[in-house]
Amino acid sequence: MFWEKEIETIDKKELEKYQIQKLNETLNNCKKAPFYKKVFEKLNIEKINSFEDIKRLPFTTKQDLRDNFPYGFLTIGLEDVVRLHSSSGTTGNPTVVFHTKKDLEEWTNLIARCMYMVGVRKNDVFQNMMGYGLFTGGIGFHYGAEKLGALIIPIGPGNSKRQIWFMKEFKTTVIHILPSYALRLYTFFEEMGIDPKKDLNLKIAFIGAEPHSEQIRRKIEELYNIKAYNSYGLSEMNGPGVAFECPYQNGMHIWEDNYYVEIINPETGEVLPDGEEGELVLTTLKRTAMPLIRYRTRDLTRIIPGECKCGRTHRRIDRIKGRSDDMLIINGVNIFPIQIEKTIMRIPEVGNNYIIEIKKENYMDKLYVKVELNEKTFNGTLTEIENLQKKLTEELKTELGISPVVKFVEASSFPETEGKAVRVYDLREKE
């Protein structure tokens, strides 16, 4: 049993009190780290009495983590640190986060809480297809599943045929997988003569670690006949287990007993009310080795106002729209890659994968969208393909406000990657 009912359904007022207490503990603790010591010497803030006071605290950025590499955020001696993790460095040098034993226990609890929430139990067989090692996805879920007592297959990513063989032989019921990899993996089933709907025992998938649209989720659910739950986290906040969908699949509960949540206007830093979209800012409430205050995640989302039917009182964040630095400016128009994905995935004839290229041509930006076609469509008549191209171009134009060049390629044309999918190639500077 891992339904932490008391804390998951805590009364709002109680939660507030708890958070203020934890914020003060965190504030005191973080001053032991060389970085925060310097910051707070100048600020002279001794105590937080209300959430208004938090607005006076400075933000912490990824750049601060990099500038104070490797130990500038550590509050304790290395003798009590038992592990480090580091981000995959998608957008630059890696950032490192340290944990005590207690920190790891808290993190494990959160993951167990998430998995239990959507129905994982000790009799489940859990195939963990996320990377193990410095990346937090694999190990994070591993410990959570172990806490629940499930049988874990710590297989990691890649080697698709072997994945499918394990799924079949051990009757895997739960998988943890990158959404882009779930779609790629599907293309191997036919070749192996296995129908995931009939020949496997899958029930639940955890998909996360990269932005994906609602359409991609539904597609994964349909292909595998499975329930797919969105899982959000970042290594600076431990990794997965920060926010997670409940059975209602309507936003991700963000665990407010562990994280203090704010949404800010990324340009002005102003805190926005629930419902408004902005950058997610998080403060760790329980971490001891490396607490972080008002950490700017750069992830864009909003708090979904209102209560969830499941009874949990922790607020929900909406699907991540992307990082603030994912935004593309194409001939002056702001575009998020996820808008392109949404539009492509609304059209059933196209396949599972796409890439976006931006080039400079005659001093103007040109957006290319290259989309894989499924086998049936690829072998269709020229007119059918031309019509599809027109349709997709029109729909993208309506969604984005600019006209792209749509190109179709055969299924599985794009190179296979083991980590997070790289789908945007901005070739403008190089030309």
Shortest distance in whole angstroms from residue 325 CB to ligand ADP: 10
Question: Residues binding Zn ion: what is the number (CB under 5 A)?
Answer: 5
**Which of 134, 223, 272, 310: binder of Zn ion (CB under 5 A)?**
310
Query: Residue 208 touches which of Zn ion, ligand ADP, none (CB < 5 to 8 A by kind)?
Result: ligand ADP
Whole-Å CA distances, 16 to 49, 50, 302: 11, 9, 20
Shortest distance in whole angstroms from residue 317 CB to ligand ADP: 10
Query: Residue 231 touches which of Zn ion, ligand ADP, none (CB < 5 to 8 A by kind)?
Result: ligand ADP
Shortest distance in whole angstroms from residue 185 CB to Zn ion: 28
Q: Strand 424-426 to strand 350-361: parallel, antiparallel, or no bridges (unpaired)?
A: parallel
Based on CB atoms, which residue is closest to ligand ADP, 326 or 349?
Answer: 326
Helix or strand or coil: residue 132? coil
Counted residue by residue, the chain has a size of: 431
Shortest distance in whole angstroms from residue 234 CB to ligand ADP: 4
Q: What is the binding site for ligand ADP (CB under 6 A)?
A: 87-90, 208-211, 230-235, 297, 299, 320, 323
Q: Is 81 in the site for Zn ion (CB under 5 A)?
A: no
Instruction: Write out the H or E segment, with its range, that includes residue 364.
Output: strand 364-373
Token readout for 290 is 């490396």
Based on CB atoms, which residue is closest to ligand ADP, 238 or 288?
Answer: 238
Query: Residue 308 touches which of ligand ADP, Zn ion, none (CB < 5 to 8 A by kind)?
Result: Zn ion
Based on CB atoms, which residue is closest to ligand ADP, 157 or 233?
Answer: 233
DSSP state of 183: H
Shortest distance in whole angstroms from residue 139 CB to ligand ADP: 12
Shortest distance in whole angstroms from residue 92 CB to ligand ADP: 8
> Sign of the C-alpha dihedral, residues 371, 372, 377, 381?
positive
Query: Residue 90 touches which of ligand ADP, Zn ion, none (CB < 5 to 8 A by kind)?
Result: ligand ADP
φ, ψ of residue 419 to 5 degrees: the values are -90, -155
Based on CB atoms, which residue is closest to ligand ADP, 328 or 392?
Answer: 328
Q: Is the peptide bond before 70 cis (omega within 30 degrees of 0)?
A: yes
Based on CB atoms, which residue is closest to ligand ADP, 10 or 120?
Answer: 120
Positions in 230-249 near Zn ion (CB under 5 A): 246, 248
Query: Residue 88 touches which of Zn ion, ligand ADP, none (CB < 5 to 8 A by kind)?
Result: ligand ADP
Helix or strand or coil: residue 388? helix
Based on CB atoms, which residue is closest to ligand ADP, 90 or 403?
Answer: 90
Q: Is 308 in the site for Zn ion (CB under 5 A)?
A: yes
Shortest distance in whole angstroms from residue 11 CB to ligand ADP: 28
What is the C-alpha to C-alpha distance for residues 27 and 19, in angstroms, rounded to an integer?
A: 12
Based on CB atoms, which residue is closest to ligand ADP, 189 or 259?
Answer: 259
x/- map, 243-282, Zn ion, by CB under 5 A: ---x-x----------------------------------
Shortest distance in whole angstroms from residue 365 CB to ligand ADP: 24
Whether the CB-CB separation of 157 and 141 falls below 8 Å is answered with: no
Whole-Å CA distances, 319 to 169, 200, 206, 272: 34, 29, 14, 17
φ, ψ of residue 225 to 5 degrees: the values are 50, 65
Quote the strand ranges of 178-277, DSSP E: 204-208, 227-234, 239-245, 252-254, 259-264
Q: Sheet containing 322-323: which strands, arranged edge to edge?
A: 259-264, 278-284, 295-301, 322-323
Q: Find the part of the chain contacting Zn ion (CB under 5 A) among 35-43, 153-161, 216-224, 301-309.
A: 301-309
What is the C-alpha to C-alpha distance for residues 30 and 24, in angstroms, rounded to an integer?
A: 10
Query: Residue 246 touches which of Zn ion, ligand ADP, none (CB < 5 to 8 A by kind)?
Result: Zn ion
Residue type, 181: Y
Quote the strand ranges of 55-198, DSSP E: 83-86, 96-99, 125-128, 151-153, 174-177
Residues found near Zn ion in the complex (CB under 5 A)? 246, 248, 308, 310, 312
